[in-house]
Amino acid sequence: MGYIEPAPIKDLENPFESMMSRFHIAAQHLGLDDEIYNVLKSPARQVIVNLPITMDDGSIQVFEGYRVIHSTILGPSKGGVRYDMGVNIDEVKALAAWMTWKCAVVDIPYGGAKGGIKCNPRAMSAGEIERLTRSYTESMVDVFGEDRDIPAPDMGTGPREMAWMMDAYSRSKGMTVNAVVTGKPLVLGGSLGRTEATGRGVMVSALAAMEKLKINPYKATMAVQGFGNVGSFAALLLEERGATIKSISDISGAYFNDSGIDIKKAIEYRNNNNGTLEGFEGAEKIDGNDLLTLEVDVLIPAAKEDVITHDNASKIQAKLIVEGANGPTSAKADNIINEKGIMVAPDILANAGGVTVSYFEWVQNRLGYKWTRERVNRRSDRIMKDAFEAVYKTSQEYNVPMRIAAYIVAIDKVAQTYKYRGGY
């Protein structure tokens, strides 16, 4: 399970425009100057490379690779590299901007970037992927850098690819530079606590929101869509804090137990069952879509984008939605949810625990020191809680939904920094 960074909302034709629609609303609330609006709406740098790779059968195939740096106003840019046939420049641009806002919301000193290679890693051998990864890294030697631009895993990439990137970059510099990528295997300088970091951040955000809504965690009922890295850790950690998880789901369908699912057992079952919940007996099987509209206090979409749409939004009964996934709610559904008065802890806030611990990985690498899991958890919990409070306060101040408030916090921080730094 590699870790995946922000994805655009898919129900609008162009992902960049979809991101911009929310940016635009927040910018209007802030009364952002036209000049700064124009600076922030366009990526700072876009690099497209062609990578000829010798395949195992001796043929040469050319792959297109991208890296977009949206902003370095707050610090070196940070963002994952995606291997997927659907990768294109518009998507990478949207994802890069998303990273700028996400890092700014949690107040970590990074700008935003994203990269990708148009390829199908499932149809390639490990050797082919390694050659492609090394070639991509070499072509980006002047873009990447521990103080410049720091890649991480995303869809189709994981610790293995990060190790190759770190090695290829280090070779080109003639020394080991492990802080140039995050999401590395532990032995290469990966951080303890990274695996569970996003689910943990979802838990912290959920508890912070429940406190505002006066929902007692011991009496709270929840439904969690997606039982991969984010969903299963979020469910486990919330169960440990007293919540009753009535329903969980994965690609095989949804599972419901009115008196609560034993999450530890469900994880154990999944781990011994090829990663799926199919056949899980601790609950009754229900239709996957029904999970979203169950009568529960908290709904946690933690599977994929665009699952809460204008079709099902009006049927949602939860009082709180905590977005573990990136872009699970379409822009049209946003309006319905706001009208219903449901609180949303939005993706750029609620799932930022992952990038926060990636930042800690970079900090540890640069210090040449390793933190304990307890220190990592304590510090990331504090960052997540502070970010939640800042976004909540802004939503009250501007009388806007939490999603727009998160954008306001992010854009304001980047715009203020830009003003101090100045342009040409």
Q: Catalytic site residue 114?
A: yes
Closest approach, Cβ 201 to ligand NAD, in A, equals 8
Q: To which H or E segment does residue 141 belong?
A: none
Nearer to ligand NAD by C-beta: 135 or 198? 198
Contact 145, 75 (CB under 8 A): no
Closest approach, Cβ 96 to ligand NAD, in A, equals 15
Q: Is 276 annotated as a binding residue?
A: no
Residues sharing a CB contact under 8 Å with residue 215, sequence separation 6 or more, in sequence order: 297, 298, 319, 320
Residues sharing a CB contact under 8 Å with residue 209, sequence separation 6 or more, in sequence order: 320, 322, 343, 345, 388, 392
Nearer to ligand NAD by C-beta: 303 or 415? 303
Alpha carbon 151 to its chain centroid, in Å, reads 14
Nearer to ligand NAD by C-beta: 16 or 255? 255
Q: To which H or E segment does residue 92 belong?
A: helix 89-105
Residues sharing a CB contact under 8 Å with residue 182, sequence separation 6 or more, in sequence order: 78, 150, 151, 152, 162, 190, 191, 358, 359, 361, 362
Nearer to ligand NAD by C-beta: 79 or 228? 228
Cα 414 to Cα 41, 92, 317, 360, 424: the distances in Å are: 12, 20, 36, 21, 17
Q: Is 78 annotated as a binding residue?
A: yes
Which residue has tokens 């490379």? 49
Cα–Cα dist 35/40, whole Å? 9
Closest approach, Cβ 223 to ligand NAD, in A, equals 11
Joined together, the tokens standing for residue 233 give 């850790």
Number of H helices, E strands in the chain: 13, 12
Q: Is 358 annotated as a binding residue?
A: yes
Closest approach, Cβ 171 to ligand NAD, in A, equals 28
Active-site option among 10, 41, 93, 114: 114
Other C-beta atoms lying within 10 Å of the C-beta of residue 171: 15
Q: Is 102 annotated as a binding residue?
A: yes
Contact footprint for ligand NAD (CB under 6 A): 1, 3-5, 7, 198, 225-231, 249-251, 288, 302-304, 324-326, 351, 354
Closest approach, Cβ 221 to ligand NAD, in A, equals 19
Nearer to ligand NAD by C-beta: 5 or 91? 5
Annotated binding-site members for substrate: 78, 102, 358
Annotated binding-site members: 78, 102, 198, 229, 358
Annotated binding-site members for NAD(+): 198, 229
Q: Which residues form the catalytic set?
A: 114
